[in-house]
Amino acid sequence: MDSKFAFAFLLFYFLMSSHSVISQTSGKVNIGESLVTMDQNLSWLSPSKDFAFGFRQLNDNDDFFLLAIWYYKIPDGDIVCYAKGGNPAQRGSKVELTADRGLVLKDPQGTEIWQSNFGTGRVAYGVMNDTGNFVLVNINSESPALWESFSHPTDTLLPTQAMKIEGILSSRKSVTNFSQGRFQFRLLSDGNAVLNPINLPSNYTYDA
């Protein structure tokens, strides 16, 4: 093979490989990108690959998955945030990033089962940050984020994550069952933090 041609080929291969790595680890998610439960190893990673956003298989069950954020580098990494309710998604479900509604999760029949609710505005793109916070960036760059996972904690607070007044953390039923459990941790309007048992399914809180 001609040496000049070989050098040009290797340079092209290196540049394409570098671009591929950068695009996979920048943390940025473009409008229209999606994840499907059948692609089990596919997720959106933070730049450092410390955190991942995507579908996690539940209890080694090929038919049920949880839309979640987890520690990516740890084997069977702990899930730190998940779609409210902890309801599993069926095999074939898809989550897509849209401009007008943000993250939209649909079942295999196309029925919407969850979305990232926000008010007015349009999403420019999403970002999976190294803090573990998934952010929907406002197309108006001077405005705050339209939505972020840090504002919707489930059962875990991460470093740098602040808990808002009237914020709630709910236990899960078990390590592998992400339905709401019998305990809540709340930050009250007077600044006090309380841990309460709750009655299920009424959600009545037994105040301390």
Q: What is the pLDDT of residues 94-105, one digit of tens each?
A: 999 999 999 999
pLDDT bin (cut points 50, 70, 90) of residue 206 is confident
- DSSP annotation of 205: E
The domain tally of the chain equals 2
pTM of the model: 0.83
Q: Is residue 83 part of a domain?
A: yes
| Nearest Cα residue to 89 out of 32, 39, 157 | 39
Is the domain of 95 the same as that of 118?
A: yes
Q: Is residue 69 part of a domain?
A: yes
pLDDT at residue 208, rounded to an integer:
60
Is the domain of 139 the same as that of 176?
A: no
pLDDT at residue 183, rounded to an integer:
93
Q: How far is CA 191 from CA 107, 197, 204, in A?
A: 40, 19, 21
- DSSP annotation of 167: -
Is the domain of 139 the same as that of 168?
A: no
Q: Is residue 14 part of a domain?
A: no
Q: Domain range for residue 70? A: 23-149
Is the domain of 131 the same as that of 173?
A: no
Is the domain of 118 the same as that of 41?
A: yes
Q: Is residue 155 part of a domain?
A: no
d(CA 81, CA 188) in angstroms, rounded, equals 22
pLDDT at residue 2, rounded to an integer:
53
Q: Look at strands 193-199 and 204-205 and give their pairing.
A: antiparallel
| Nearest Cα residue to 191 out of 172, 155, 163, 169 | 163
Tokens of 199: 């009655």
Is the domain of 136 the same as that of 77?
A: yes
Tokens of 36: 């499907």
Contact status, residue 195 vs residue 183, Cβ threshold 8 Å: yes
Torsion of CA 121, 168, 87, 137, to 10 degrees: 20
| Nearest Cα residue to 40 out of 65, 18, 23 | 65
Q: List b or e across 58-68, with b for residues whose CB sees 16 or more CB atoms inside 10 angstroms.
A: beeeeebbbbb
Is the domain of 76 the same as that of 129?
A: yes
Mean model confidence pLDDT for the chain: 85
Q: Is residue 80 part of a domain?
A: yes
Is the domain of 61 the same as that of 131?
A: yes
Residue 14 has pLDDT above 60, yes or no: no
Q: Is residue 3 part of a domain?
A: no
pLDDT tens for 144-188 read 899 999 999 999 999 999 999 999 999 998 888 888 899 999 999
Is the domain of 73 the same as that of 172?
A: no
Is the domain of 129 the same as that of 194?
A: no
CATH at residue 67: 2.90.10.10
